[in-house]
């Protein structure tokens, strides 16, 4: 392992020499311009800000995830222009006769709509970047969208992008390009979040007030990311205002949140704490009846982060998230679940051209179910716990060349199920052995401007997964009956899977205003979610690779055409993708996945394929902004033992998917938004007949997922009023979810007809019609 | 055990949102005329019954066509065998074959030239010891639950199925239990009824059946469909040949109680 890593480093070094010498032939001296781009008022670093230089050489670079940029240029005088969405362009002149450190603080562009300023922003996609399938969500745009229950929700906003689909009405869960809900890598400050939703999926675990940046990769995943097949959702928390103390918050129909941030030492260290809690259950306390009063239903979460400037070359970050859902039915039944994550990071600048980050990451997801009656008193708990060490080294040898190399090592522990019981209970204490896996990856990626028109990214990730003891490992016959049991000792390697994952992407400028992009990426996945519920349940079970479960492998090719119109005021894109998936997991009919130690005997393995076309048209400037997105797609699975081994539609297969999003800025104070979505219904299994057994009418089924739920569509409206004073700002958001009251089907069930017990009826359950909400936000 | 978890979505949905339910018309593909076999051998002299019917289309009425003139044979591992006689439409019964402990039974049914086979062994008999009615507060009222009690034999896998009658009406739903978490214990098993609320004076009768692991799997997968799993499928049957239904060799014990 070490050897390969050294080799990669050497290779990087050699390539840098090669790169450098090519330029050295023409210029005797080269120096590096580097620094951090941040917001002038809050000190928040600006991820992805563009730094353009003109002079002896005209080129540019963008700031990395920590706001750092580095560009090495021949001696000379340069004009530097730094820009970022929603900020005034900052210009500066630099005499480059030595390495120069230039920190750039950008000022927010004023709220007044100024035509000149808007055109200077050049908002929109970067034609030259080989980043097909990557989308960045602007938190300011999210704030203006209609909300459900008055909650600003990042996960619901990304569902409006082409290729991203909602898991269901009001759900925060999402599917990307035919992948399952568990095939999205959701990262909060680099820590994986295993269950990204609250209250059965109706809310995301991300408090919008604490989030700075949201980046979604659905196609060309950079080599530093791995571990899930379908997408990477990289969410970065705010660092905290290092200039002055600020308090902001929101009061919604369902929950309230409060955020405090400020300097610990001005310009040197800052903190942010954001807390959120729902309060529907508070009203239950008003009832005198204990049958109502003693029920519980709430969630809360807490985000906290500290960052410290430890000298000119070092920066430390400490961030954490803690969230919990609690549901209780009197004293009889209690269920609670939640995530806790922690990240400690150290940015170190070895030299202006070498930037490194080392992260130590912790992630924990657990649930507990407690059941207590006179007869029974027991609890079930389940835990997924990760420890992760990651090191990344970025190298900026010359303009148009950037290297990133690094490694990641994750230790996973899964406690699948542990039953604890009081002495008087009829239930025995019982525990399934913990499952240990060790996931390692080495990666290198190279961004290279090949010609004026062609930019490429070439990457390789080598991932390895070792299944570790201790405990019993099983094999099963084709019918799922246990055949052999072997025992392995503590820490013993039972099985290792190694997968090279090449990633290539390019962008070719076909004109000043258009480009063609393409990519190929292989992804693997070593953690899998088993679920048999329609909406996803906190008790769905995570399982790692084992002697039987192999890593899931996905190969995706995608290509697209991107075009800007009217100097970037409008942009259009069309992308196509095809994805092959191996070692996909499903389970046998009648599988019992709860606290089952022979779970692998219940599983079936097969393959999947997904392909589609995504079209997007966007208007970036003026009073009216927004986009229209359309996706045409197909997602299928083929698994031996299901559907007679024939291909069948995955549940999330939806042929058509449309989103229309528009925001109109009436004046400084008022803005209005509307969004409309339409999608073909999910592929589901409907009964094809009925029969009588045990004096009950039962249904018979033939093909898997051959039926269709009715099409889903709805319109949401919102009005946002923002008032700004010298010191503070307040925002009112009025939203109406499902404005024309469409009764979208949440589930369809089949039962005896109420009027004629001799007949059978299909009953549609719909959840949300005309849901109004008000939310008030403040900042001072 | 599994039943408890399905309460969660129901609580959440009913508390947080007022869901709307409406009958709709779906254009469903239809496949009818599948053979349905429900074959039962109880402990004792019988008569034991095999019911043969056919499935019908979704929109048809709930009277299912009986299969007459089939050849149905039951035999045991001691060499006893009997061809059943049709005593009613689709109803085939034994006259001599006895259901005995530790014996394995074979079912053969021949319908229109297709043969269906199944095998099932009589499980160890466990008696229902007590039957209690308990109540707990829930959403402003008190919900009464039925609690049968029994002593699970230690060291062997046991599977149980409970059939509930309220004032003589058989209740729909599936109540099954395995001793995976309760091996060797005195078990008090709360039962949840689908739609019926119990009132003072109601007569509750519970039959506890000891069933085999295959029959347990059948009812377990049937319950998953009833619970509206995301991918429903026909229950896992122990009958080969493609018939719906099951063959259960079982013991049963019954108790009654009046709701206080």
**B10 and chain A in contact, CB less than 8 A:** no
A707 contacts B2? CB cut-off 8 A: no
CA A409 from chain center: how many Å?
A: 20
B16 contacts A762? CB cut-off 8 A: no
CA A692 from chain center: how many Å?
A: 46
Residue of chain B nearest A199, judged by CA positions? B12
* Mean pLDDT (chain B, rounded): 86
B232 contacts A701? CB cut-off 8 A: yes
Cβ atoms A720, A670 nearer than 8 A: yes
**Tell me, what DSSP letter sits at residue A227?**
B
The phi, psi pair for A593, rounded to 5°, reads -100, -5
* Mean pLDDT (chain A, rounded): 87
For residue range A678-719, what is the model confidence (pLDDT) as tens digits? 999 999 889 989 999 988 889 998 888 888 999 999 999 999
Cβ atoms A188, A214 nearer than 8 A: no
Q: Please state, for a pLDDT cut of 70, what percent of chain A lies above it.
A: 91
Residues of A in contact with B246 (CB under 8 A): 693
A758 contacts B172? CB cut-off 8 A: no
**A296 and chain B in contact, CB less than 8 A:** no
From the candidates A175, A294, A329, which should be mutated to test the interface with B, based on the most B CB atoms within 10 A? A329
Nearest to B7 among A333, A697, A749 (CB): A333
For residue range A724-779, what is the model confidence (pLDDT) as tens digits? 888 888 989 898 988 998 999 888 888 888 888 888 888 888 888 888 888 898 98
Predicted confidence band of residue B72 (pLDDT cuts 50, 70, 90) = very high
- Can you give the pLDDT at residue A536? 63
Predicted confidence band of residue A24 (pLDDT cuts 50, 70, 90) = very low
For residue range A475-509, what is the model confidence (pLDDT) as tens digits? 999 888 899 999 999 889 999 999 999 999 999 99
Residues of A in contact with B170 (CB under 8 A): 695
Residues of B in contact with A378 (CB under 8 A): 181
How far apart are the C-alpha atoms of B199 and A143, rounded to whole Å?
53
From the candidates A693, A710, A773, which should be mutated to test the interface with B, based on the most B CB atoms within 10 A? A693
Q: Of A220, A226, A171, which Cα lies nearest the Cα of A196?
A: A171
Among A188-202, B120-134, B135-149, name the one with the lowest average pLDDT.
Answer: B135-149
Alpha carbon of B181: minimum distance to chain A alpha carbons (Å) = 5
Alpha carbon of A590: minimum distance to chain B alpha carbons (Å) = 4
B221 contacts A589? CB cut-off 8 A: yes
- Can you give the pLDDT at residue A22? 40
Measured between alpha carbons, how far is residue A157 from residues A136, A174, A208, A216 in Å?
11, 11, 11, 12
Predicted confidence band of residue B11 (pLDDT cuts 50, 70, 90) = very low
**What mean pLDDT is predicted for residues B30-41?**
90
**What mean pLDDT is predicted for residues B96-122?**
92
Give the alpha-carbon dihedral of B87, B93, B96, B100, to 10 degrees.
-160
**A534 and chain B in contact, CB less than 8 A:** yes
For chain B, the farthest-separated pair of C-alpha atoms sits apart, in whole angstroms, at 61
A749 contacts B19? CB cut-off 8 A: no
ipTM of the complex: 0.90
Nearest to B64 among A292, A533, A692 (CB): A692
pLDDT surpasses 80 at B47: yes
CA B222 from chain center: how many Å?
A: 9
> Please, which residues have CB within 8 angstroms of residue B8's CB and are 6 or more apart in sequence?
A200, A327, A335, A537
* Consecutive H or E run containing B136: strand B130-138
Residues of A in contact with B182 (CB under 8 A): 426-428
Q: Of A240, A241, A222, A242, which Cα lies nearest the Cα of A232?
A: A222
Provide the sign of the torsion angle of the four alpha carbons B169, B175, B178, B179, taken in this order: negative
**What mean pLDDT is predicted for residues A506-514?**
93
- Can you give the pLDDT at residue A663? 92
How far apart are the C-alpha atoms of A759 and A767, rounded to whole Å?
26
**What mean pLDDT is predicted for residues A303-330?**
91
- Can you give the pLDDT at residue A121? 44
φ/ψ bin of A227: left (φ > 0), alpha (ψ from -120 to 50), beta (otherwise):
left
A699 contacts B225? CB cut-off 8 A: yes
For residue range A241-269, what is the model confidence (pLDDT) as tens digits? 888 899 999 888 788 899 999 999 988 99
pLDDT surpasses 80 at A133: yes
- Can you give the pLDDT at residue A486? 93
Among A417-421, A435-439, A521-525, A647-651, name the one with the lowest average pLDDT.
Answer: A417-421
Cβ atoms A317, A353 nearer than 8 A: no
**What mean pLDDT is predicted for residues A122-150?**
77
pLDDT surpasses 60 at A297: yes
Cβ atoms A547, A483 nearer than 8 A: no
Predicted confidence band of residue A404 (pLDDT cuts 50, 70, 90) = very high
Nearest to B4 among A333, A688, A689 (CB): A333
For residue range A593-640, what is the model confidence (pLDDT) as tens digits? 777 888 899 899 999 999 999 999 999 888 999 999 999 999 999 998
A430 contacts B180? CB cut-off 8 A: yes
How far apart are the C-alpha atoms of A250 and A254, rounded to whole Å?
11
Question: A157 by DSSP, 3-state: which?
Answer: helix
A632 CB burial (10 A radius; 0-12, 13-18, 19+): middle
A113 CB burial (10 A radius; 0-12, 13-18, 19+): middle
Among A170-174, A300-304, A489-493, name the one with the lowest average pLDDT.
Answer: A170-174
- Can you give the pLDDT at residue A243? 87
> How many C-beta atoms surround the C-beta of residue B9 within 10 A?
17
Give the alpha-carbon dihedral of B127, B133, B136, B142, to 10 degrees.
150
> Please, which residues have CB within 8 angstroms of residue B87's CB and are 6 or more apart in sequence?
B93
Question: A710 by DSSP, 3-state: which?
Answer: coil
Most trustworthy range by pLDDT among A126-135, A339-348, A396-405 = A339-348
Predicted confidence band of residue B8 (pLDDT cuts 50, 70, 90) = very low
**Tell me, what DSSP letter sits at residue A218?**
S
**Tell me, what DSSP letter sits at residue B24?**
E
From the candidates B40, B62, B159, B191, which should be mutated to test the interface with A, based on the most A CB atoms within 10 A? B62
For residue range A325-356, what is the model confidence (pLDDT) as tens digits? 988 877 778 888 999 999 999 999 999 999 99
- Can you give the pLDDT at residue B122? 94
Q: Using omega within 30 degrees of 0 as the cis cutoff, is the peptide bond preceding B47 cis?
A: yes
Provide the sign of the torsion angle of the four alpha carbons A177, A183, A188, A190, taken in this order: negative
The phi, psi pair for B244, rounded to 5°, reads -85, 160
Alpha carbon of B225: minimum distance to chain A alpha carbons (Å) = 9
For residue range A348-383, what is the model confidence (pLDDT) as tens digits? 999 999 999 999 999 999 988 888 876 678 888 899
pLDDT surpasses 80 at B196: no
Which of B 132-161 lie inside 8 A of A, CB atoms?
134, 136-142, 145, 147, 149
pLDDT surpasses 90 at B15: no
Question: A183 by DSSP, 3-state: which?
Answer: helix
For chain A, the farthest-separated pair of C-alpha atoms sits apart, in whole angstroms, at 93
How far apart are the C-alpha atoms of A730 and A721, rounded to whole Å?
8
- Can you give the pLDDT at residue B7? 43
Tell me which of A9 and B180 has the higher pLDDT: B180
- Can you give the pLDDT at residue B12? 47
B9 contacts A419? CB cut-off 8 A: no
CA A185 from chain center: how many Å?
A: 6
* Consecutive H or E run containing A323: strand A314-329
Nearest to A590 among B13, B34, B236 (CB): B236
DSSP string computed for A363-417 = EEEEEEEEEE-SS-EEEEEEEEEEEEEEEEEEEEEETTEEEEEEEEEEEEEEEEE
Cβ atoms B53, A691 nearer than 8 A: yes
């Amino acid at each position: 392992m070490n050897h390969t890593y050294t080799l990669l480093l050497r290779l990087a070094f050699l390539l840098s020499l090669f790169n450098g010498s090519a330029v050295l032939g023409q210029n005797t001296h080269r120096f590096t311009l580097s620094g951090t781009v941040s917001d002038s008022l809050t000190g928040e670093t600006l991820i992805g800000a563009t730094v353009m230089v003109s002079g002896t050489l005209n080129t540019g670079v963008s700031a990395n995830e920590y706001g750092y940029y580095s560009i090495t240029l021949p001696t000379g005088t340069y004009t530097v222009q730094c820009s970022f969405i929603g900020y005034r362009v900052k210009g500066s002149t630099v005499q480059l006769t030595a390495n120069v450190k230039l920190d750039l603080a950008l000022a927010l562009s004023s709220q007044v709509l100024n035509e000149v300023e808007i055109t200077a922003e050049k908002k929109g996609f970067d034609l030259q970047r080989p980043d097909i399938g990557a989308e960045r969500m602007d938190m300011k745009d999210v704030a203006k969208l209609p909300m459900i229950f008055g909650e600003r929700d990042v996960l619901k906003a990304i569902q409006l992008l082409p290729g991203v689909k909602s898991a269901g009405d009001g759900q925060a869960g999402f599917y990307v390009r035919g992948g399952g809900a568990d095939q999205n890598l959701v990262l909060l400050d680099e820590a994986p979040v295993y269950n990204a939703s609250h209250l059965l999926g109706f809310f995301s675990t991300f408090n919008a007030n604490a989030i700075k940046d949201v980046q979604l990769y659905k196609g060309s995943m950079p080599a530093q990311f791995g571990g899930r097949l379908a997408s990477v959702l990289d969410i970065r928390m705010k660092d905290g205002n290092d200039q002055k103390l600020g308090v902001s918050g929101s009061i919604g129909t369902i929950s309230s949140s409060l955020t405090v941030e400020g300097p610990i030492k001005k310009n040197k260290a800052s903190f942010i704490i954001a807390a959120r809690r729902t309060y529907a259950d508070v009203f239950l306390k008003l009832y005198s009846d204990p049958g109502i009063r003693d029920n519980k239903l709430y969630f809360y979460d807490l985000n906290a982060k500290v960052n410290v400037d430890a000298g000119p070359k070092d920066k430390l970050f400490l961030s954490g998230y803690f969230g919990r859902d609690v549901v209780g039915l009197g004293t009889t039944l209690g269920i609670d679940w939640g995530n806790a994550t922690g990240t400690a990071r150290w940015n170190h600048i070895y030299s202006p051209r070498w930037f490194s980050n080392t992260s130590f990451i912790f992630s924990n997801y657990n649930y507990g179910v407690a059941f207590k009656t006179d007869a029974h008193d027991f609890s079930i708990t389940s835990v997924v716990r990760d420890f992760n060490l990651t090191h990344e080294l970025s190298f900026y040898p010359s303009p148009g060349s950037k290297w990133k190399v690094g490694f990641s090592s994750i230790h996973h522990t899964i406690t699948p199920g542990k039953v604890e019981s009081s002495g008087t209970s009829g239930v025995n204490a019982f525990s399934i052995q913990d499952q240990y896996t060790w996931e390692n990856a080495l990666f290198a990626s190279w961004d290279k401007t090949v010609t004026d028109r062609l930019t490429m990214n070439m990457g390789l990730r080598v991932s390895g997964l070792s299944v570790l003891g201790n405990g019993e490992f099983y094999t099963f016959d084709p019918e799922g009956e246990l055949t052999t049991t072997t025992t392995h000792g503590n820490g013993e390697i039972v099985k290792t899977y190694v997968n090279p994952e090449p990633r290539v992407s390019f962008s070719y400028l076909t004109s000043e205003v258009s480009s063609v992009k393409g990519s190929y990426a292989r992804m693997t996945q070593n953690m899998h979610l088993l679920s048999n519920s329609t909406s996803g349940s906190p008790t769905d079970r995570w399982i790692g690779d084992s002697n039987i479960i192999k890593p899931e492998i996905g190969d995706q090719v995608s290509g697209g055409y991107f075009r800007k119109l009217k100097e970037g005021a409008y942009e259009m894109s069309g992308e196509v993708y095809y994805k092959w998936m191996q070692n996909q997991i499903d389970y046998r009919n009648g599988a019992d996945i709860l606290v089952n130690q022979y779970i692998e005997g219940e599983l079936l393995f097969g393959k999947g394929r997904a392909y589609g076309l995504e079209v997007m048209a966007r208007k970036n400037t003026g009073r009216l902004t927004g986009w229209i997105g359309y996706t045409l797609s197909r997602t299928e699975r083929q698994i031996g033992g299901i559907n007679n081994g024939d291909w069948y539609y995955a549940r999330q297969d939806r042929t058509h998917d449309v989103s229309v999003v528009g925001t109109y800025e009436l004046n400084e104070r008022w803005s209005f938004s509307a969004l409309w979505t339409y999608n073909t219904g999910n592929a589901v299994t409907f009964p094809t007949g009925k029969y009588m057994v045990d004096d009950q009418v039962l249904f018979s089924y033939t093909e898997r997922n051959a039926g269709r739920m009715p099409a889903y569509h709805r319109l949401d409206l919102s009005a946002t009023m923002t008032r700004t004073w010298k010191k503070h700002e307040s925002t009112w958001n009025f939203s109406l979810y499902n404005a024309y009251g469409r009764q979208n089907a949440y589930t369809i069930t089949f039962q005896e007809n109420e009027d004629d017990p001799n007949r059978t009826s299909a009953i549609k359950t719909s959840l949300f019609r005309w849901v109004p909400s008000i939310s008030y936000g403040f900042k001072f | 055990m599994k039943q408890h978890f399905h309460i969660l979505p129901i609580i959440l949905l009913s508390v947080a949102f007022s869901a709307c339910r409406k009958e709709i018309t779906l254009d469903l593909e239809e496949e009818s005329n599948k053979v349905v076999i429900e074959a039962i051998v109880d402990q004792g002299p019988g008569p034991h019954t095999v019911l043969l019917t056919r499935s019908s289309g979704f929109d048809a009425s709930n009277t299912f066509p009986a299969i007459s003139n089939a050849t149905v044979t039951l035999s045991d591992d001691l060499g006893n065998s009997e061809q059943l006689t049709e005593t009613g439409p689709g109803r085939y019964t034994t006259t001599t074959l006895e259901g005995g402990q530790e014996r394995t039974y074979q079912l053969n049914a021949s319908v229109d030239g297709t043969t269906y086979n199944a095998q099932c062994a009589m499980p160890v008999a466990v008696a229902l010891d007590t039957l209690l009615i308990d109540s707990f507060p829930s959403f402003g009222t008190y919900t009464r639950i039925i609690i049968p009690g029994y002593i699970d034999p230690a060291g062997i896998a046991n599977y149980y199925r409970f059939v509930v009658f309220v004032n003589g009406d058989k209740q729909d739903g599936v109540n099954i239990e395995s001793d995976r978490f309760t091996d060797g214990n005195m078990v008090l098993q709360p039962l949840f009824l689908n739609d019926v609320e119990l009132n003072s004076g109601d007569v509750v009768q519970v039959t506890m059946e000891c069933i085999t692991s295959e029959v347990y799997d059948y009812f377990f997968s049937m319950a998953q469909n009833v619970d509206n799993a995301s991918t429903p499928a026909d229950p896992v049957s122990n009958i080969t040949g493609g018939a719906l239904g099951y063959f259960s060799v079982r013991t049963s014990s019954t108790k009654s109680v009046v709701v206080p």
